Amino acid sequence: MKNIAVFLDRDNTLNFDPGYLNDPESVKLLPGVGEGLTKLKSVLNCKFIVISNQSGVARGFYTEETIIKINNRINELLFGSGFAQIDDFFYCIHHPEFSDEEKSKCRKPSPQMVFDAAKKYLINLADSYFAGDAVSDVECGKNAGTKTVLLVYDEGDSKRMELAVKQLTPDFIAKDFSECCNFIIEDFKGKNN
């Protein structure tokens, strides 16, 4: 039997992003993240897999060890409050301006990390979801064959323009993490009734 997953961007989706986050102690979850993940887990019994571009390593801003510590800190914060945790973190440390092209092929919007996760966890991508705050998250989800949710915390006009230029339409645009989770639950129930 294949699993369902909710693939998630990390920075500005799960946690506040000050720009190239490099201090595990400064990690702060966004409002509704813990509650939303726990609700999703109880209804969908899904895997939570983070798919994240972390070019700060290629740029020399922080090390891969820092990424791992920040990922662990996210799960510590979730666990400490009794919430569902992330099952796995996939990240790409490369960027074509700082790494060779071959190594950079894992970067979103490439679906490579999603495909790697799907293989590892036997995930049915057609019944899975990808949620993130960037157009590249929508593009990655579409490229992988999942449903997509774009999180827009502000007016998001520039994101809507970028979507139009790329002729991309997310399955849902959410104003916050709670709304994102509610859409996924309703959509999932609709498919399975």
pLDDT tens-place values along the chain, 193 residues long: 689 999 999 999 999 999 999 999 999 999 999 999 999 999 999 999 999 999 999 999 999 999 999 999 999 999 999 999 999 999 999 987 777 777 889 999 999 999 999 999 999 999 999 999 999 999 999 999 999 999 997 766 788 888 888 889 999 999 999 999 999 999 998 876 5
Give domain status of residue 192, yes or no. no
80-92 residue pLDDT tens? 999 999 999 999 9
Domain span at 130: 5-155+171-184
HEC string for 100-112:
CCCHHHHCCCCCH
Give domain status of residue 193, yes or no. no
Could you give the number of structural domains in the chain?
A: 1
Give domain status of residue 57, yes or no. yes
Q: How far is CA 185 from CA 62, 64, 147, 173, 179, in A?
A: 36, 34, 12, 14, 10
Give domain status of residue 189, yes or no. no
Compute the distance between CA of residue 93 and CA of residue 54 in angstroms, rounded to an integer: 5
108-142 residue pLDDT tens? 999 999 999 999 999 999 999 999 999 999 999 99
The answer to pTM > 0.85 is yes
Kindly report the CATH number assigned to the domain that includes residue 135.
3.40.50.1000
Give domain status of residue 25, yes or no. yes
Give domain status of residue 166, yes or no. no
Give domain status of residue 12, yes or no. yes
